[in-house]
Structure 1
Amino acid sequence: MNETETSEVRTPVERTPVEHTPAEHTPVVRKRLFSLLAFVVILALSFITVAVPESYAQQAKTPDAKQYSQLLQNIFQFILQNYVEEPDPTKLYQGAVKGMLDSLGDPYSAFLDEDMMSDLMSDTTGTYGGVGLYISKQTTVPTEDTPRYIEVVSPIEDTPAWKEGIRSGDLITKIDGEDTSPLSVDKASAKIRGEAGTTVTLTFKRGNYEFEVTFTRSKIEIPAIKNAIITTASGNIGYIRIVEWNPNTPVRMKAVLQDMHAQGIDRWIIDVRSNPGGLLSSVVDVSDLFLSSGVIVSTKGRTISENYEYKAKPDLAIPATDRIIVMTNQGSASASEIFAGAMKDTKRALLLGQKTYGKGSVQQIFPLDKAGFKLTMARYYTPSGVNIDKVGIEPDIKVPEPELSDKELAEVQRLYDAGDIARFLLKNPTPSVEQRKQFAAELAQKYTVPALILEKLVRDESERSQPARIYDLEYDVQLQKALDLIESQDFLNQLESAKTLADLKKSTN
């Protein structure tokens, strides 16, 4: 989830019932050094629909359920009438709901107080106040030595967290000094968010390296997509980065595809790296722009109403013969995984990059007056019938992103603490490429950090106050590989030989 959490209001899309089956000014160096993308808002990565709990009540009435329901009512009345001080019935009621949801052990099912509910229902506007982080709760089993902290799924670019270099996989261990291990994603989100201009201090853990950052909250505005045409020796390639799956994404995507196609673009790189998800309806409609038939995604739950197949319609936004590469990483989750899975299973695109996050469940929001709760109601399945929850999707072409070791991170922190880059930029506010390279070579003599990384650090610091680059051909090794592949004669052979997720699952069993 994020300082926000995505919500899903189902809109009319083609769906076919299927068989019912049971069932988050001294920067600490934390830049994702070779990534074009590093986004962060604080979302608990979920597809959500709004519903009314009464509509499901009859389906849950087993004899045991009735017995427990009556017992709960009796306890509620007994506490109201006999507690030494007059209790607030609303707090009792909400506490009972929270306790039931907490007992499920599901980080995506939780009680939402009035503030959380208001924040959640407004998140799809793409604007809120915070530091710019998408967050989730670690899924590991907690122990005394390894508690479950709040995990950064991805930062949102051009936000305070992105500018401080917070990365996917960083753990938030404290919020203003408070331990996050007992906190739900929603509680953590509420503490991180706030009015623009106020501050919040987060303590992070990256591997064995711990650091603290005090952020000044700002108004976070999230664009649906960013796009550009990349010119190479062999011609032009359309680059589209999906930043968020919101109601505007399908309309914006269709317009960009049509505009670029009119300019002669027939090779595409669709980038969903560090995109933690959003609206189910949004990803279905975007996928439908590339697919002309078959299942895009299906959802399956214990209730018949949660079993659907979302199918592609015949019209295409671009020709079926156009080449497409979808770029993923460990920050690609939920809706981004639905898109990647649909494009892979239908052999419409090659996936390139790193394994995705692994969030394959669907939530609904149930209003309770001004409060509410969200409950996991279904899991989603790719066109070949695979659910990737807690597993993720392996790309067809694996291209790891260079990472800094703990020792190198400590060295970079020492570099920032010494102020070498800040002094260099005071003398050279807009350094040339040659000046950056020369200064990085000098720094490499003092710090045990690769010169290429030092070059990027200097460049990023010099551009800190500028809008983020749409793409980065200098240091983004994954994008460089994608460009090489989409231009190669071997692209079609690799696409044809790529395995569906079902085939891959069979081969590993």
Structure 2
Amino acid sequence: MVMTKSGLVLGATAVALTAVTVTGAGLHLSQSQAFFKESPKELVDEVWQIIDRNYVDATFNQVDWRAVRQEYLNRPYGNREEAYEAIREMLEQLEDPYTRFMDPKEFENMQIDTSGELTGVGIQLAQEEETNELVVIAPIEDTPAFRAGVQARDVIKAIDGKSTEGMDINQAVNLIRGPVGSEVVLTIEREEETMNFTIRRDRIEIHPVRYSYKDSPYGGVGYIRLTQFNANAVAEMRDAIEDLEGQNVVGYILDLRSNPGGLLNASIEIARMWLDRGTIVSTVNRQGEIDRESANGRAIADKPLVVLVDGGSASASEILSGALQDNGRGTIVGTQTFGKGLVQSVRGLGDGSGLAVTIAKYLTPSGRDINHEGIVPDIEVDLSEEERKAIRQNRTLIGTLGGDPQYSRALSILGDKVAEAKATTPAPNVLSK
């Protein structure tokens, strides 16, 4: 996530997705680069200072952080690589997989392109906090990983035969990425079954919004599927709603399933398209609330709304669905979301390396901690393994009455909401002559 709000990324792509804030210092090597080459101990101290000032947990995981500084500054460092190793060792004491050090190459890879075009296999990764396992948040639709059958919640056990035990997200991204047309083998564990996926890397252009007018017994329904909150999402969502409004739909189904997140600002602006008033999201650091985003009275759709989510809906998806749920604007249908609500600030260091630091967390308008709870649907509708397999093998089933049970239930619920809205709408006054 990037703390200038236009750049706040809620994810990392191996594409890998995580919430990061890129500060300006990190994108180019500073004038002090030569100094850090000569004095790697200063780099260790710079990292310690950043953690000391900004880390979300003021107890530093119950660690005496000042004693840690003394320990690591008393060590001799012969070169930058020794300092890098010491920094990683120091950060391990926080037991936070999202707070991590990146050498210059890893930092370069971390600067994920959110302009709507990616190069890779098309998966978003997270690191499970308790086990440190690399978990797929979701494959991006219509990408090599999606077509190969990779699913949300898959655990990556090896990359090209190299075990991922002890590996962080950036190391995994380095191994998964490669030249367009080359192949990578991912060893994946899914519900105690281990399988290998050979995936050909490609350039991935992402248009995140797909929509259609659907006939139903209740009238015309606007179906909008949002696959990622990238730089194209706001304009494409606005175009979709305005087009469907022009077709006089009676209500909407907003599909956020397997949407791993993206730009924070995109989630806020899209929430404002549906919400006329109310809080959208709060950001809280160790001192308390530091930011609150609200609707601005410029909603462009006020008709009944049902929102589809699942275990692959993460980060920005959870901010949007949580805002709509807490404000009573939409009914949430599906399964519990991923639960990724931490903010990382990504900072460049003096020698071209970088540091991601967890600095805050997101709360829904009612104060729910997204990172621990995720978003629990108002109405839970799960898919069987057979249904998931059928949809994975035939994407045209998504958003259809015959092949997508979650969509079918959402449509039924929307019908009830449309009928409710009609029943409570006052009849127009008719003047007799």
TM-score range, shorter chain: 0.7 to 0.9
Letter in 2 for 1:347: G
Given candidates 469, 483, 487, the residue that maps to 2:415 is 487
Q: Distance in 2 between matches of 1:207 and 1:402?
A: 14
Instruction: State the match for 2:292 in structure 1.
Output: 309
Q: Is the 8 Å Cα contact of residues 229 and 236 (structure 1) preserved in structure 2?
A: yes
Letter aligned with residue 351 of structure 1: I
1:10 equivalenced with 2:4 (yes/no): yes
| Aligned residue identity for 1:364 | S
Matched, 1:232 2:216: yes
| Structure 1 residue 328 displacement after superposition | 0.4
Question: Where do 1:288-299 residues align within 5 Å?
Answer: 288-299=272-283
1-structure distance, mates of 2:370, 2:159: 31
1:117-141 Cα shifts (integer Å, max 9, x gaps): 223323212322221111112233x
Aligned residue for 2:16, secondary structure, equals coil
Give the TM-score normalised by the residue count of structure 2: 0.81
Return closer, same or farther for 1:489/1:152 CA change in 2, 3 Å cut-off: closer
The one-letter amino acid paired with 2:370 is I
Q: Distance in 2 between matches of 1:212 and 1:56?
A: 40
Is the alpha carbon distance of 1:468 and 1:134 closer, same or farther for their aligned partners in structure 2, counting shifts above 3 Å?
farther
1:48 match: secondary structure: strand
1:437 aligns to what? none
Q: Deviations over 1:269-305 (max 9, x none)?
A: 111111111121111111111112221100110257x
Following superposition, the deviation at residue 468 of structure 1 comes to: 6.2
Structure 1 Cα separation of the partners of residues 129 and 217 of structure 2: 45
Residues 166 and 70 of structure 1, relative CA distance in 2, 3 Å threshold: closer
2:21 is the alignment partner of 1:48: yes
1:467-506: CA deviation from partner (whole Å, max 9, x where unpaired): 867634331110111111111268749xx9xxxxxxxxxx
| Structure 1 counterpart of 2:72 | 72
Matched residue count = 389
Q: Secondary structure at the match of 1:390?
A: helix
Matches of 1:399 and 1:57 in 2, distance apart? 42
Provide the rounded CA distance (Å) in 1 between the counterparts of 2:381 and 2:388: 18
Residue pairs, 1:112-123, within 5 angstroms: 112-123=102-113
Matched, 1:371 2:361: no
- Which letter maps to 2:307? V
3-state SS, counterpart of residue 357 of structure 1 = coil
Q: Which TM-score applies when normalising by structure 1?
A: 0.70
The equivalent of 2:367 in structure 1 is 385
CA distance in 1: counterparts of 2:50 and 2:172, whole angstroms: 29
Match of 1:129 in 2: 119
CA distance in 1, matches of 2:129, 2:66: 32
Q: Give the equivalent residue in structure 2 for 1:4.
A: none
Q: CA deviation at 1:246?
A: 1.6
Contact 2:127/2:133, CA 8 A, preserved across alignment = yes
Shift of 1:247: 2.4
Q: Does 2:152 match 1:179? A: no
Deviates more, 1:376-385 or 1:102-111: 102-111
Closer/same/farther in 2, CA of residues 354 and 96 from structure 1, 3 Å limit: same
State the partner residue of 2:239: 255
**What do the CA deviations read for 1:203-247 (whole angstroms, capped 9, x no partner)?**
111112221121111112222211111122332111111111122
Cα separation, 2, equivalents of 1:491 and 1:92: 67
Q: Which residue of 1 aligns with 2:201?
A: 217
Pick from 236, 252, 255 the counterpart of residue 268 of structure 1: 252
In terms of mean alpha carbon deviation, does 336-345 or 235-244 score higher? 235-244
Does the CA-based 8 Å contact 1:44-1:108 persist in structure 2? Answer: no
In structure 2, what is the Cα distance between the partners aligned to 1:194 and 1:468?
Answer: 30
Spell out structure 1 runs of 4+ moving beyond 4 A: 51-60, 64-68, 467-470, 489-493
Cα distance in structure 1, aligned partners of 2:16 and 2:273: 26
Residue 8 (structure 1) shift: 1.8
Q: Contact (CA 8 Å) 2:335, 2:381: kept in 1 or not? A: yes
Q: Distance in 1 between matches of 2:175 and 2:243?
A: 42
Say if 2:135 is the partner of 1:162.
no
Q: Give SS of 1:124's match.
A: coil
Determine if the alignment matches structure 1 residue 206 to structure 2 residue 190: yes
- Aligned identity (percent) is 31
How far off its partner does 1:115 sit?
Answer: 2.8
Conserved? CA contact 1:288–1:313, under 8 Å: yes
The residue that corresponds to 1:358 in the other structure is: 339
Distance 2:181 2:254 in 1: 35
The 1:68/1:206 distance shift into structure 2, 3 A limit, reads: closer
Who is 2:29 aligned against?
A: none
Q: Residue type matched to 1:402 in 2? A: S
Maintained 8 Å contact 1:47/1:335: no
In structure 1, which of residues 111, 127, 145 is the aligned counterpart of residue 101 of structure 2?
Answer: 111
The structure in which a higher percent of residues are strand is: 2
Structure 2 CA distance for aligned equivalents of residues 139 and 280 of structure 1: 22
CA drift at 1:336? 0.5
Match of 1:28 in 2: none
Secondary structure of the residue aligned to 2:114 is helix
SS at match of 1:46: strand
Following the alignment from structure 1 to structure 2, what is the Cα–Cα distance between the partners of residues 343 and 101?
A: 37
Q: Which runs of 5+ in 2 are unaligned?
A: 26-45, 59-63, 425-433
Per-residue CA shift, 1:34-83, capped at 9, x if unaligned? xxxxxx954243243436679968858x9x766654553342xxx24xxx
Let me know the Cα RMSD of the aligned residues. Answer: 3.1
The counterpart of 1:398, out of the listed 363, 380, 391, is: 380
Q: CA deviation at 1:357?
A: 0.8
**Structure-2 separation of matches of 1:199 and 1:353:** 34
Which residue matches 1:418? none
Give the residue type in structure 2 aligned to 1:188: A
